[in-house]
């Protein structure tokens, strides 16, 4: 029978240490509630003594959520611990997370101390924290580079002092999986009272090993993992929650289970990305834009025949509606036919062969093949009445931003005027006045392609309609125009009968 693996989410503490990604208290509460719905067991809500804002966030998160344990970080300093306890006064279940550096680097160069003094200070911190809460976690900072015998000794002593969880951080992301797993195994085998506490992993991604090290720790007996949504965190980041959870779900040979509601993973990922203004890299495992996208003809054909030919995870398991079959010069006939079927054009035999050959020539010269391109290839086979073409785009500011947009849909011309918070918002709202799909603009990214005041901006958009994603792309020196073009590009990929016009 599998054991429970406790999910300790530190998105709001370690994850928020990413430069430029700080959240205010209300935003942290939104994330905390999403983490509760996701099913995390412990939320590390902040480092209360570090700032009044962090203190207040721990207080308010403690009030806002009920099920997870709320954890507050402290150093092995009495004042830190007192402030952490004060911040947790409204928590239904509170935990103080205290600790100290244990590697030779930290002992000698950071703390300018001795091993015996480090043990004394660690034990004293745990004992002091136990005055305020029963649940005390001890972190042995930089355990990944510590001396094995010393690590065993300090872990034994803090458990005697009352630590309920012992955290073994690979603070600098130094370890290889076999090394980190070996550290956990050494503790299991050589700390006499290790059964009195839960071993926790806390791995950083400096060498790209965070998930692998965390899983190795679990395989050797760790039963709590410290993770962040999207793997955000100091430097190269922390262990990605979604990667660990899905690795364990895929590999039933690892005898643990979690309470994570995996269909909520993608939604939570996008929430954190949006609030922290930190885009998820397209090739990010589990939640990246390309995680379930296929462009190779061989892969596309295999996935269309049987998903598990090339996907070990059903996209729906993590909250993604379906895989993406992306048309490129490497796509095969199966992928092209898949897209043509979605447009209501059913081609077989010579007709499909003719269109496919023309498609390959076009795909060699274009990065992204959209509905307009397909219509050009198969125009004689389909109804073009719903194709949207962007015309005039203009905007002005007289106290408020107003935009005017002209669209041609099929052979009909349309115009609309709208106001907004800015020119991009106003233009998109004007387009929505004409075209009435029930879409949500879930992702909107602007990237500079060139350098200088005449930069070319590349805009990427992801629209959601009926839980299905539709992507739009464009590039232009005018960001407003590029945004309008990308929006229309995405709308044109929605199947013909899915939207109406005003």
**DSSP result, 410-426:** TTEEEEEEEEESSHHHH
Q: Is 161 left (phi over 0), alpha (psi -120 to 50) or beta?
A: alpha
Nearest of 65, 59, 7 to residue 36 by alpha carbon: 65
Query: Do 499 and 437 form a contact (C-beta atoms < 8 A)?
Result: yes
pLDDT of residue 68: 98
pLDDT of residue 383: 57
DSSP 95: E
DSSP 145: G
* Residue stretches of the annotated binding site: 14, 202, 204, 238
- Kindly give the parts of the chain with pLDDT less than 50: none
CB-CB neighbours of 462 under 10 Å: 18
CATH code for the part of the protein at 388-498: 3.30.160.270
DSSP 113: -
pLDDT of residue 498: 53
Nearest of 69, 81, 4, 82 to residue 43 by alpha carbon: 69
pLDDT of residue 31: 98
Going from N- to C-terminal start, the domains of the chain cover 3-276, 293-366, 388-498
pLDDT of residue 239: 98
pLDDT tens for residues 90-107? 999 999 999 999 999 999
pLDDT of residue 339: 85
pLDDT of residue 129: 98
Please give the full DSSP string across 272-297, using - where no structure is assigned. HHHHTT-PPPTT-TTTSTTTTEE-SH
Handedness of CA 165, 171, 177, 183 (dihedral sign): negative
Query: Do 141 and 173 form a contact (C-beta atoms < 8 A)?
Result: no
Angle between helices 265-275 and 25-38 (to 10 degrees): 170
Into which CATH architecture does domain 3-276 fall? Alpha-Beta Barrel (3.20)
Nearest of 162, 169, 70, 157 to residue 116 by alpha carbon: 157
Please give the torsion angle defined by the CA atoms of residues 181, 163, 229 and 86, in that order, rounded to the nearest 10 degrees: -160
Tell me the Cα Rg of the chain.
27
* Residue stretches of the annotated binding site for Mn(2+): 14, 202, 204, 238
Instruction: Catalogue the E-assigned strands of 90-163.
Output: 94-101, 135-141
pLDDT of residue 26: 96
Evaluate whether 3-276 and 388-498 have a shared fold.
no
């Amino acid at each position: 029978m599998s054991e429970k693996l406790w999910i300790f989410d530190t998105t709001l503490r370690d994850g928020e240490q990413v430069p430029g990604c700080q959240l205010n208290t209300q935003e942290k509460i939104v994330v905390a509630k999403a983490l509760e719905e996701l099913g995390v067991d412990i939320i590390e809500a902040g480092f209360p003594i570090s700032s009044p804002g962090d203190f207040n966030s721990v207080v308010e998160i403690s009030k806002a959520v009920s099920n997870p344990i709320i954890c507050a970080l402290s150093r092995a300093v009495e004042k830190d611990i007192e402030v952490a306890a004060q911040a947790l006064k409204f928590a239904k279940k509170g935990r103080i997370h205290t600790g100290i550096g244990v590697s030779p680097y930290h002992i000698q160069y950071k703390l300018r101390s001795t091993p015996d003094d480090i043990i004394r200070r660690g034990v004293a911190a745990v004992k002091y924290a136990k005055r305020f809460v029963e649940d005390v976690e001890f972190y042995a900072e930089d355990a990944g580079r510590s001396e094995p015998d010393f690590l065993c000794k300090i872990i034994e002593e803090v458990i005697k002092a009352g630590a309920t969880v012992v955290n073994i951080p690979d603070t600098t992301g130094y370890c290889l999986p076999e090394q980190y797993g070996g550290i956990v195994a050494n503790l299991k085998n050589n700390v006499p009272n290790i059964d009195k506490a839960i071993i926790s992993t806390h791995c950083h991604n400096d060498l790209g090993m965070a998930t692998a090290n965390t899983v190795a720790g679990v395989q050797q007996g760790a039963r709590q993992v410290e993770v962040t949504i999207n793997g955000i965190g100091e430097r190269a980041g922390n262990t990605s929650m979604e990667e660990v959870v899905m690795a364990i779900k895929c590999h039933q040979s690892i005898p643990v289970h979690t309470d994570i509601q995996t269909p909520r993973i993608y939604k939570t990922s996008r929430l954190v990305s949006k609030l922290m203004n930190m885009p998820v890299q397209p090739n990010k495992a589990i939640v990246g834009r390309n995680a379930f996208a296929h462009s190779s003809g061989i892969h596309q054909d295999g996935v269309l025949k049987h998903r598990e030919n090339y996907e070990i995870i059903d996209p729906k398991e993590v909250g993604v509606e379906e895989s993406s079959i992306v048309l490129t010069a490497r796509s095969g006939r199966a992928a092209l036919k898949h897209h043509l079927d979605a447009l209501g054009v059913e081609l077989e035999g010579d007709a499909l062969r003719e269109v496919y050959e023309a498609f390959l020539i076009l795909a060699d010269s274009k990065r992204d093949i959209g509905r307009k391109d397909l219509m050009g290839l198969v125009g004689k086979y389909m109804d073009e009445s719903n194709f949207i073409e962007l015309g005039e785009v203009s905007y002005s500011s007289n106290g408020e931003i107003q935009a005017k947009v002209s669209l041609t849909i099929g052979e009909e011309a349309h115009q609309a005027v709208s106001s907004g918070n800015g020119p991009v918002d106003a233009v998109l709202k004007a387009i929505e006045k004409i075209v009435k799909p029930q879409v949500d603009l879930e992702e909107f990214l602007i990237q500079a392609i060139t350098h200088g005041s005449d930069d070319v901006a590349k805009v990427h958009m992801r629209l959601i309609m009926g839980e299905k994603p539709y992507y739009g792309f464009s590039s232009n020196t005018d960001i407003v125009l590029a945004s309008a073009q990308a929006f229309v590009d995405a709308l044109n990929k929605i199947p013909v009968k899915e939207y109406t016009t005003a």
